[in-house]
Amino acid sequence: MDKYSVEVAVFISIIVLIILNFIGFGGVFGIIVMGFVATYLTVPEKSNYKVGSIAAFTFCILSFLYAFFTPPSLPYKLPAYSAGLGLAASSLINLIGGFMVAAMAYIILGSFGGIIAGLLSPRKKSKPKYRKPEHKRRTLNRVS
């Protein structure tokens, strides 16, 4: 299989997750598969579990923004209550806390998929980066 850069692998893995969500295999399994695909498609020099966590975090940001700008379905008659500054502050704290918890969960699941891809990918023997050159010993030939 062709090896791609990290950015292209993340983009392809997000597309794979969106397709899995439409089929009905999303959720935890889909995030793990996304981390696996992102790590498996990267160049072997840059391939590790961090690529899967980057892909999962990127999808977390995209899904958070989509959910943030999509209005919820509301009933026809809303109850009348006074909304003050305290309600807005607590909602903002809940929003930030929810994003942080979701980001942690996505990162952990994506890196788990990256670890699985690292275990299943064939390992190539790496050459040592520095090898001490072998010199021939010089001898002195003395003429008597």
3-state secondary structure the chain: CCCECHHHHHHHHHHHHHHHHHHCCCCHHHHHHHHHHHHHHECCCCCCHHHHHHHHHHHHHHHHHHHHHCCCCCCCCCCCCCCCHHHHHHHHHHHHHHHHHHHHHHHHHHHHHHHHHHHHCCCCCCCCCCCCCCCCCCCCCCCC
- What's the total number of domains in the chain? 1
Determine, yes or no, domain membership for 54.
yes
In a domain, 13, yes or no: yes
125 falls within a domain: no
Q: Is residue 128 part of a domain?
A: no
The mean pLDDT of 119-144, rounded to a whole number, is 70
Would you say residue 89 lies in a domain?
A: no
**In a domain? residue 52:** yes
77 inside domain: no
Predicted local confidence at residue 29, as pLDDT: 92
Q: Which residue segment(s) compose the domain that 59 sits in? A: 6-70+97-120
Q: Determine, yes or no, domain membership for 86.
A: no
Listed range (68-72, 105-109, 120-124) with the worst mean pLDDT: 120-124
Q: What is the pTM of this model?
A: 0.75
